[in-house]
Structure 1
Amino acid sequence: MNNSFDFSNFSRQSPKGILVIYTNLIYKVIRVTWLLLFLILKDFSKVFSIVGNYIYLGLVVLLLLLLARAYLIYKNFQFKIADERFILKQGILKKTTTSIPFHRIQNINFKQNIIQQIIGVFEVSVETAGSKKTEIAIKALSLEKAEALKELISKNTQFNQHPTEKDETKPLIKIGIKELFKVSLTENHLQNLVLFLAIILGFFQQIEQIVSSLGDTALFDGFIEESTNALSASFFLVTVLLFFLTFIALMSSFVKIFLIHFNLTTYLKDDSFEINQGLFTKKTTILKKQKVQNITVSTNPLKRFIGIYFITFKQAVSGKVNVKKNKLIRIVGCKAEQVAIIKQRLFDATDVENEEKKYPDGYYKRRMFIWVFLFITILYSFLYLIFQQIEILYSTVFVFPFIIFLILKKVKKRFYKITETMLLLGSGLLETHHTYFEIFKVQNIKMKQTIFQKRSNVADLILQTASGKIKIPCIQFKDAIEIYNHTLYKVETSKTSWM
């Protein structure tokens, strides 16, 4: 262990943190006042002629006030480690002290944005289970001090212990550019295409406003009309445009994936996973294995064809937390053997994977058909009443077979496998999701049965874990009772820590 830093006494972050805090404050001000800035820039010459000097004076005063605030935040931000607790003091007028025991720390994140990379510092953030946001964020630490702090917290050790050997010296998983390109091919290109078209439309609206301010809109309208007529009359131009839009969608997906997941590398260190990724904003996440509530392995026909899978780690969350943004940790572009290694490191899933699949009762499929076709019937009734054209109903020739196909696919992918210690759940529609979790991590279990389910002798099981609810729908009542009793028994008798 790195003992070159004394964390037992209060210390501050690097003085370079003043610059990081300062730029962050400026960004927040711009984000709040961007509409006002846009209005000023739009009519800058008119505004400047009236209050030009006051604008410059106000800008200087604002920047000085933000600089003073950044310095005070830096000066009053102090932290130390004592009695296996992280203690933080902060605040300018309202002083607060935060104390977090090591055992409550869920994961440790390292980040470097462009400013932090230029000045050579790291942001270290500490998250706990159930918190709405990052509880501790140290904006600027040197690499050596950040590594020492990370090692101390992640190992939950005292200061006088000797260093331990790492479990792995080589990366457990390393995702290269080729794999990232494969990942980008499987992204939601339609969403990117819609975003691109929205930007283009916004650009043309800005051009139209500028031309309108110059008082000559006829020329611009004529140009748009001629271009539209030429495009609609030429099959070649339409084909080129479609290829261009497809290329833009593919490239935007690749750029997004490349920026977020660049140099994605996963290490196993002691009992923690260390996940590094990012280009402009580099991020390192330290994930304790015992704090992982469950994992989901996802794929789809295209991903399966090119041989990649996504692994999503789920941790304990608060009900008020946005799970998608704050608590999900994902490794993209994994190969089948890499998925097997991750599962092996977390738990032994061999037995549960060898079990026979058990599917929901036929009631589940019947219920889906009834609700979906009821919705389709109501939708087409409204469409017919609005447009008064019988031709609208012709589309049902294609819609209904497609809906039937999707329902059958969803039913086929919904299954469960259970052993003494593990539960494997399958779900999905176009994608396939396999969720693995250990039964002793269930916090409570509910069995629900509507009057219609009671007639068919089926019930729903809802398992509440620290990462959210997991549902097994419409299984035979006797099977539900058996799983219910077995789960309660394992939860009550297990002595293994799940946090």
Structure 2
Amino acid sequence: MYSPQKLHPIAYLGSVVNAFRNLWIPLIIVFFNQRETIMSGNISLTWIVAVAGIFLLLVILFGGLDFINKYRTRFWIEDGKFVYKDGILTRREKEFDIERIQSIDFSEPIFHRLFKAVKLQVFTPGEGIVIDTMKKTQAEALQSIIYDEQEKIAQNKKDVENVRVGDASAWPREAGAASDAPVEAQPKRNFEVLHRLKRGELLLMSMTSGALGAFVAIIFAVLNIIGAQFIVERYIDYFGTIFQNSMIALSVAAIFFVVVGYSIGVLILYIKYHDYTLYKKDDDLAVEYGLLEKKHKSVNIKRVQNIIIRDSLLRRMIGYYSLSVTITSDTFEGEDTSSTVEVMPFIKRDTLYGIIEEILPNYEVIKPESSVPLRGYRRYFQISTLSLILITALVQYFLLSWGWILGLAALGITIAAGVYAARNNGYAITGDEINMLTTGFFTRNHFVIKHDKVIEGRITENPFLIRSKLANISVTTAAGIVGSTATVRFIERRDIDIIWDWIKEGGGRNEENLSESDQTMED
């Protein structure tokens, strides 16, 4: 790794594959638009040759340029830096200070796994790089060397800090001095397993993680390519031939879509998060998961900006949560540009606290009580309610005579979601730490933030809130371009002042908890 390294030989074949992958959508659109002519057989040989020739020319052009770029790509470690160089006519070189590298991730798509190759992503707080495709042994060696280099740098800094001004060693050095004694090599610590998802938990997680949404997202992506109207009409017409009543046919088609879509979505999530495992080595965490595409993500504990504990109403009823941490990263490199790293996507409450105490002992997780007064409850659903009433009236008048039934059901759900949000918005301050509980649609996000990680505080209010002595407050930590923000809404103005004073003055005074709370999360 200390001399220039080349990419995996399969990367050159990947250039051709990438060219086909970039051109297959336009090719499908051309054939789909000309499907009637092609199916009728009324097509000339000249047209076929012309289309094939243009397609091959584009493949050679795009694939050839990518091939040359990958052939000239080199990477190595030199003088405490990770160096990456590529380019065809103009050579580009990036240098990453090893001390500032906070994440070394690699993934193994199914095609790469056949040839023992991986995609590597190296991120620092300011930028990052993606290397596609390198040998798995290279990636593991690079990751190990960078971790070792970071440990040496940290140890050297600690030794320097321990040296006092005026200290000196005897001269001439005496024989048999301690400094002449051979230094025992410290055994290298390997990653140890902290937690692994069981198969039953993995299945339960997949069933409660928006499986239908994952399926619908894929379906919409396909429909956008080949045309939604054509597929939807054929789908509904099929059930129309089975059932004479159009309402029954439409209902069965909808139920069938939901059931099949949910089942496929569960399968997709099960495959994606298969064998999810959390590892720890000194100050580094790593997660590994995936059946077809195996992913490996890492994060340094010292670079964590905040903790986020998430749950939904359904998961909360069965006692499961998810644990994520936010790191600083403002790069657009890679497929996943999010600064939030999911440490455990599905974990029991009791195990959750043990994991946090193990990996982040300096954080104290406290569940805040609701800080929203009764006069603030209606503000969580009043705008949504008014919009829903207007939409229901339009649907009732122009489309469906029984639209009011759907509107009434949606209204009840909206009000219930608003009350749920109001009952689960709050904060708790202890020393240099703030716990903030925010909500979505029957979901909760529990942020745990240290004062020295806060980069921005913001109060938002309007004349109506001022008259009611309510306001919203947001606390932001570094994370990507826009940061990671926790917002508590419609709380008392005196609570806003308490949080604002904490942001300005900081913690560390060991004051009493400024918001009464329990030491565990609510069941």
Alignment counterpart, residue 17 of structure 2, candidates 7, 18, 23: 23
Give 1:333's match in structure 2, choosing from 326, 346, 357: 346
Larger CA deviation: 178-187 vs 292-301 = 292-301
User: Within 5 Å, which residues of 2 pair with 1:387-398?
Assistant: 398=409
What is the aligned partner in structure 2 of residue 407 from structure 1?
A: 418
SS at match of 2:442: coil
1:371 partner amino acid: I
The within-5 A match list for 1:8-87 is 9-31=3-25, 33-39=27-33, 43-44=37-38, 45-87=41-83
Change (3 A) 1:59 1:450: closer
Alignment of 1:444-463 (within 5 A): 444-463=456-475
User: Taking structure 1 as reference, are residues 115 and 367 closer, same or farther at Cα in structure 2, changes over 3 Å only?
Assistant: closer
> In structure 2, the residue corresponding to 1:187 is in which secondary structure?
coil
Q: Give the alignment's Cα RMSD to 1 decimal.
A: 4.0
Structure 1 counterpart of 2:284: 272
2:430 aligned partner: 419
TM-score normalised by L of structure 2 = 0.76
Alpha-carbon offset, residue 285 of structure 1: 0.7
Aligned pairs for 1:276-315 within 5 A: 276-315=288-327
> Is 1:316 matched up with 2:328?
yes
Distance 1:57 1:398 in 2: 58
Residue in 1 that maps onto 2:150: 157
Structure 2 residue 370 is the aligned partner of structure 1 residue 347: no
Check whether the contact 1:264–1:275 (CA below 8 A) recurs between aligned residues: yes
* Distance of 1:86 and 1:109 partners within structure 2: 15
The residue correspondences of 1:96-495 to structure 2 (distance < 5 A) are: 96-129=92-125, 131=127, 135-157=128-150, 165-166=188-189, 168-169=191-192, 171-191=193-213, 205=230, 225-229=240-244, 244-318=256-330, 326-330=338-342, 331-348=344-361, 351-353=364-366, 357-383=369-395, 386=398, 398=409, 400-428=411-439, 429-467=441-479, 468-490=484-506
Task: Report the secondary structure of 2:112's partner residue.
Answer: helix
- Residue type matched to 2:485 in 1? K
Distance 1:371 1:238 in 2: 31
Report the Cα offset of residue 110 of structure 1: 0.7
Instruction: Measure, in 1, the Cα distance between the counterparts of 2:10 and 2:284.
Output: 30
TM-score (norm 1): 0.79
* Residues 33 and 242 of structure 1, relative CA distance in 2, 3 Å threshold: closer
Q: For residues 32 and 11 of structure 1, do their structure 2 counterparts lie closer, same or farther at Cα, with a shift above 3 Å needed? A: farther
With 302-311 and 31-40 compared, the bigger mean Cα shift is at 31-40
Determine which structure has the larger helix proportion and give its number.
Answer: 1
**In the superposition, relative to structure 1, how do residues 275 and 205 fare at CA in structure 2: closer, same or farther (>3 Å)?**
same
3-state DSSP class of the match of 2:244? helix
SS in 2 for 1:172: strand
User: Identity over aligned residues, as a percent?
Assistant: 18
Are the structure 2 counterparts of residues 342 and 323 from structure 1 closer, same or farther at C-alpha, using a change threshold of 3 Å?
farther
Contact kept, 8 Å, 2:212 with 2:258, in 1: the verdict is: no
Distance 2:27 2:211 in 1: 32
For 1:179 and 1:322, the matched residues in 2 are separated by 29
Moved more, 144-153 or 18-27: 18-27
Shift of 1:485: 2.2
CA distance change for structure 1 residues 47 and 89 in 2, over 3 Å: closer, same or farther? farther
Question: Helix, strand or coil for the counterpart of 1:359?
Answer: coil
Give ranges in structure 1 of 5+ residues lacking alignment: 1-5, 210-219, 494-499
- Per-residue deviation, 1:337: 3.6
Deviation of residue 280 (structure 1)?
A: 1.9
Shift of 1:152: 2.2
* Cα pair distance change 1:127/1:43, threshold 3 Å: farther
1:49–1:223 Cα change, 3 Å: same
Is the CA contact (8 Å cut-off) linking 1:460 and 1:475 kept in structure 2? yes
CA contact (8 A) 1:352 1:419 kept: no
Contact 2:377 2:422 in 1 (8 A): yes
- Distance in 2, matches of 1:138 and 1:28, equals 19
Q: Distance in 2 between matches of 1:29 and 1:259?
A: 28
- Separation in 1, partners of 2:248, 2:457: 63
Contact conserved, 2:213 with 2:265, CA < 8 A, in 1? no
Instruction: For structure 2, list consecutive stretches of 5 or more residues without a partner in the other structure.
Output: 156-184, 510-523
Helix, strand or coil at the partner of 2:369: coil
Residues 15 and 64 of structure 2 are in contact (CA less than 8 Å); yes or no, is this contact kept in structure 1? no
Residue identity opposite 1:166 in structure 2: R
SS in 2 for 1:13: coil
Q: CA deviation at 1:12?
A: 1.8
Q: Given residue 476 of structure 1, which amino acid in structure 2 is its aligned partner?
A: E
Work out the CA distance in 1 between the residues paired with 2:233 and 2:499. 65
CA distance in structure 1 between the aligned counterparts of 2:315 and 2:434, rounded to whole angstroms: 24
Counterpart of 1:177 in structure 2: which amino acid? R
Tell me the equivalent position of 1:215.
none
Give the deviation of 1:238 after TM superposition. Answer: 7.0
Q: What is the CA deviation profile of residues 145-183 of structure 1, one whole-angstrom value per residue up to 9, with x for unaligned ones?
A: 2111112223443899966533753x2121233222101
Contact 1:20 1:115 in 2 (8 A): no
How far the C-alpha of 1:119 sits from its partner, in A, is 1.4
State the distance in 2 between where 1:370 and 1:67 align.
Answer: 56
String of CA shifts for 1:10-43, please: whole Å, max 9, x gaps. 2222333212333223312324554235446764
Cα deviations by residue, 1:322-344 (Å, 9 ceiling, x for unpaired): 99863332232222243223321
Q: Is the 1:421–1:439 contact (alpha carbons within 8 Å) kept by the matching residues of 2?
A: yes
Q: 2 CA distance for matches of 1:153 and 1:473?
A: 43
Cα gap change, 1:491/1:108 in structure 2, threshold over 3 Å: closer, same or farther? farther
Q: What is the Cα deviation at residue 247 of structure 1?
A: 3.9
Does the CA-based 8 Å contact 2:432-2:508 persist in structure 1?
Answer: no
* Deviation of the 1:478 alpha carbon: 3.1
Aligned partners of 1:442 and 1:491 also within 8 Å: no
Residues of 2 paired with 1:347 and 1:158: CA distance?
18
Is the contact made by 1:349 and 1:422 (CA closer than 8 Å) also made in structure 2? no
Q: 2:177 maps to which residue?
A: none
Amino acid at match of 1:185: M
